[in-house]
Amino acid sequence: MTHESTAVGLASAYSNATTASGDWWRDAVIYQVYLRSFADSDGDGIGDLRGVRSRLPHLARLGVDAVWLTPFYVSPQADGGYDVADYRAVDPLFGDLADADELVRAAHGLGLRVIVDVVPNHTSEQHPWFRAALAGEPGARERYLFRRGRGADGSLPPNDWESIFGGPAWTRVADGDWYLHLFAPEQPDLDWTHPEVTAEFDSVLRFWLDLGVDGFRIDVAHGMVKADGLPDIGRGAQATLIGAEPLPFFDQDGVHEIHRAWRRLLDSYEGRRIGVAEAWAPSSERLALYVRPDELHQAFNFRFLTCPWDPEAMRTVIDESLSATTAVGAPTTWVLSNHDVVRHVTRYGGGAQGLARARAAAMLMLSLPGSAYLYQGEELGLPEVTDLPPESRQDPAFRRGRRPQIPAGAPTPGIIAPRDGEPPARAQPEPDTEPAPGPALQLTPQAEPGNGPEARACCGPQAHTPTRPEPEAGTGQAEEPGAGTRPAAQAGPAPQAQGRIRPPADAEPGPEPDAGAAPEPQLAPQAQGHTAPQAQACRGLRADAGAAPEPQLAPQGQGHTGPQAQACCGPRADAGPAPDLQTGAGPAPDLQTAPEAEGQDGLRDGCRVPIPWDGPEPPYGFGSAGSWLPQPPAWAGLSVAAQTGDPHSTLELYRAALELRRAMPGLGAPGAGPSPDPRGMRWLPSPDGVLLFTRPGFACTLNTRPDPVELPAPGRPVLSSAPVETDGRTVRLPPDSCTWWAF
């Protein structure tokens, strides 16, 4: 017979033992919001804080514990906000400080915690500190890694380090000094041996903790300290060595003193605030150092993300990850996608096969001991968008190794980017003129950070800042009913941040309006599903479901066609297209991906396309106008609205899995329930190509083979990513599938 999943009641968001004791992060499911691509509230085609707030009920109903927000600080947006010009202000592109405050309080009201990004390895070149450094202010350069060049005239970079985005990691300024940037030239690295850097980031963390955030995801947590003397590496293609070999600019022992100091700061606040390391290390043991009891709470497990669809490789990564973190008393984290990698539906082969494997991998991930991270849209089964038109691309790695061409008649540039393989020229002032003060190279007409709409680096369809609509509290684009049923989390102490605008208590957002009364997740009954063809584009599979048809992605259109499509087409909407980046002087080359260049592939835009909420055509409820990256025309069937209530959909599979994860005592926290294994997990013998493990009262089977496999039933099936046939004694596992069992 084909098994039908068993319905379970929704467990409390705080029912697990570790959560009850306060260590909520040990088994938390944390949802990453890539802010630009989540929800747009003001019609400029770019996601913002109010948009996120309006869609929080979707996350509450999905069943996650926390939301992680990518940077929303004042920034020229040279690298999607990871180039910060003011760490204490919200970029007008995304809202203002009051919007951030309201979002945090609304999330807490729904039982969701909020984690925000902090970017400590580097600032923007528009940060006041770096502007002062270029202007020659005494002592200003000591906060960054400025060095004299090599060679008789200092015309060679100080060492052979390469940027992660490709090309040299050094750029020369007008007086001949070079500064280090492990990422884009617009992102100069800070010198963490300088006491002002340490003090500044302590202050920044306190600012946001006072506002009420529950923790920080620390960008490049492995990069703040460089080896003494900045030694050469002696080989190229250095980006390919990250996480595989020791490097003098990453994973230096000195970073751990920084994280210990931050742990003390976090522990000084009520509410169990956490630090999460985005850290690449050569081994699981090195990664575990970041989560020792006196350091950070979590570290991303990128080995699991990069693991191929191979059962032996998966088991090895799982065992080594659990062993390393268990040794230091920390939880393991699991992640399949994020804003920097190809979505796992596509990584696993794309089409019907990629979707089947992605669904199975998600169930595997959610059944492992520890904490899981979901990337926005993966609950919809979104594939990578691989055919974006070049003119819409935003990823700086797409134009890696180039800088904007300096227009004729412009002030003398103070920054000279080296051409690969050639010594750079030194900038010389025009005869009888004085060099311009301050930063000599302006990528955008950037105002002082936080000073009004003109500080907005990418202002949308019009050159002026659009007037933000003022929705009533608790209203917006959300359609999720019953969102207020989650218990409220305790917010931290009353914020004291200067300049914040706190609405009165009676302005708290309430439950979102019922827009169609989507049903609560039903695990057992077979629903009729949608009848419109587009609603069938991404059918998920429950244990009772038939085969899912392959999603049909229509060919990419011609890109943006209307004014609203110009939401983020350059430094300003009235300034024309974004300038091509140059490696030196001369005319700008044609836009290209430069596949021969070393470093990242420059295709990160494909995983950042705004997600679909509802409607038959783009922008699928993302906002009232277009979207900053074009959405595929076949995404209507992948939207939240199209998948809600469809028992075969990927969205309902995720909702059911998260519901069961809360309800079943053997899932969630490491060591839950009685077991001689401190991880609460035990591998059992299984056929080739199949993984089988148990946790207290629970079993998980993963069939990675392209054909069905029969084996003794390990229990009663409760959820499967594909139809499972069982007579109670034996089971026939479908290919590329995962099944959960109770016993």
Q: Are 205 and 269 in contact, with CB atoms under 8 Å apart?
A: no
Is 86 catalytic? The answer is no
DSSP string, 511-561: PPP-SS-PPPP-SSSPP----SGGGGTT----TT--PPPPP--PPP-SS--
Cis omega (within 30 of 0) on the bond before 619?
Answer: yes
Count of other CB atoms within 10 angstroms of residue 413: 20
Confidence category of residue 537, pLDDT binned at 50, 70, 90: very low
Confidence category of residue 676, pLDDT binned at 50, 70, 90: very low
Q: What is the mean pLDDT of the segment spanning 202-221?
A: 98
**Residue 532 pLDDT > 80:** no
**Residue 36 pLDDT > 80:** yes
- Angle at the Cα of 625 from the Cα atoms of 517 and 605, rounded to 5 degrees: 95
Q: What is the pLDDT of residues 315-372, one digit of tens each?
A: 999 999 999 998 999 999 999 999 999 999 999 999 999 999 999 999 999 999 999 9
Q: Are 46 and 628 in contact, with CB atoms under 8 Å apart?
A: yes
Confidence category of residue 2, pLDDT binned at 50, 70, 90: very low
448 vs 328, more confident? 328
Q: How many residues does the chain have?
A: 743
**Residue 515 pLDDT > 50:** no
Q: What is the pLDDT of residues 132-191, one digit of tens each?
A: 999 999 999 999 999 999 999 999 999 999 999 888 999 999 999 999 999 999 999 999
pLDDT for 166: 84
Q: How far is residue 77's CA from residue 453's CA, in Å, rounded to a whole number?
A: 15
Confidence category of residue 721, pLDDT binned at 50, 70, 90: very high
Over pLDDT 90: what percentage of the chain? 61
Q: What is the pLDDT of residues 180-202, one digit of tens each?
A: 999 999 999 999 999 999 999 99
pLDDT for 535: 31
* Strand runs labelled E in 230-337: 274-277, 298-299, 333-335
pLDDT for 669: 54
Confidence category of residue 219, pLDDT binned at 50, 70, 90: very high
pTM more than 0.85: no
Q: What is the mean pLDDT of the segment spanning 700-729?
A: 96
pLDDT for 668: 63
Is 214 catalytic? The answer is no
Q: What is the mean pLDDT of the segment spanning 34-52?
A: 97
Count of other CB atoms within 10 angstroms of residue 170: 26
**Residue 508 pLDDT > 50:** no
Confidence category of residue 400, pLDDT binned at 50, 70, 90: low
**Residue 90 pLDDT > 60:** yes
pLDDT for 161: 97
**Residue 548 pLDDT > 80:** no
Question: How confident is the prediction for the chain on average, in pLDDT?
Answer: 76
739, β-bridge pairs: 701, 720
pLDDT for 607: 95
Of 40, 278, 378, 605, which one is the catalytic site residue? 278
436 vs 743, more confident? 743
**Residue 504 pLDDT > 50:** no
How far is C-alpha 475 from the geometric centre of its chain's CA atoms?
Answer: 26
At how many degrees (to 10) do helices 255-267 and 195-211 cross? 30
**Residue 411 pLDDT > 60:** no
Q: What is the pLDDT of residues 53-88, one digit of tens each?
A: 999 999 999 999 999 999 999 999 999 899 999 999
Q: Which one of 275-284, 433-442, 695-704 scores highest in mean pLDDT?
A: 695-704
**Residue 614 pLDDT > 70:** yes
**Residue 422 pLDDT > 60:** no
Of 117, 219, 295, 379, which one is the catalytic site residue? 219
580 vs 615, more confident? 615
Q: Are 280 and 222 in contact, with CB atoms under 8 Å apart?
A: yes
**Residue 301 pLDDT > 80:** yes
**Residue 562 pLDDT > 80:** no
7 vs 657, more confident? 657
Confidence category of residue 670, pLDDT binned at 50, 70, 90: low
Q: Which two tokens stand for residue 324?
A: 């390393």
**Residue 543 pLDDT > 80:** no
**Residue 280 pLDDT > 50:** yes
